[in-house]
Chain A
């Protein structure tokens, strides 16, 4: 089905191109086409193309600039939350032994729990999700461990 749709749509596109070529050859409806074949037009088209590449680069670097400023601003919070997470929720986190997290005795920080008796498994998963969300935003790069992260080839954003 997908293949037939792809082939059919390609045939339609080629058909449209053929019709346009015929109309152009028969009625010369596109006078700018002749200008488009000149060297002057090539210079203009290439010039506009290269400036558009510059425009896309401006957007890309502008976005990166905002990210960098935001992440540098967030870093202290990320470091604090990471330390609290490791201390309160997952003592084994970051050591390669996450599977050995305590299942019954550790409790999350009180402000993260609305119940007096904390469901440890649930709260741990909430902690993991919450921290992962923050780290995804700030991406762990701007912690003190950045040289290690960089050397490991991980993302710094």
Chain B
């Protein structure tokens, strides 16, 4: 395969499954802020890039997701959600601290509080600009296609 991919190293069935599972877990990690989100985004980006050509991720939203993930590499990390930090204790891995855990409803409410969802710092100016530029291209591109169609046969 010509394009960069971790399948250069190994293209077995197991490797194929491992790449997808790694991407899946890192995406969950990003959502919950369990690990530094730059690390999880890097893993996700590497997995997406590896699967881009082999899996035929050629639709516009696939390309946008790949580009978006790459831009997120330069963003500050996210706060871990309370529901994620409480998970080890809830699973019995936290020892005596598990008894003092709040209820799931409380954790859920805390997790959806604006302060919990926030980023730890403001993104760099260039990364923020490129993100907005990406959003602009997305909106203007799809908006244009609504009027012009995607092929010559479209008569909208």
Contacts and interface: CB of A to CB of B under 8 A. Distances in A.
14 contacts: A2-B156, A42-B122, A43-B118, A43-B119, A46-B122, A46-B123, A51-B33, A53-B65, A58-B24, A64-B20, A64-B24, A65-B21, A69-B17, A156-B55
A51 B20 contact: no
A5 B147 contact: yes
A47 B13 CA distance: 36
Given A54-B30, A155-B56, A157-B56, A64 B118 contact: no
B42 interface: no
A69 B21 CA distance: 11
Interface string A49-88: 1110111111011101101110010000000000000000
Interface residues of B, number: 52
B23 interface: yes
B27 A54 contact: yes
Contact of B119 (A2, A5, A47, A54): A47
Contacts, number: 125
Interface residues of A, number: 41
Interface of A: 2, 5-6, 9, 39-40, 42-44, 46-51, 53-58, 60-62, 64-65, 67-69, 72, 139, 141-142, 146-147, 150-151, 153, 155-157
Interface stretch (B72-80, B88-96, B98-106): B72-80
A156 B1 CA distance: 11
Given A43-B121, A53-B65, A157-B56, 18 more contacts: A2-B156, A9-B147, A39-B122, A46-B128, A47-B79, A47-B117, A47-B119, A53-B69, A53-B72, A54-B29, A55-B27, A56-B65, A57-B44, A57-B48, A65-B24, A147-B11, A150-B1, A153-B2
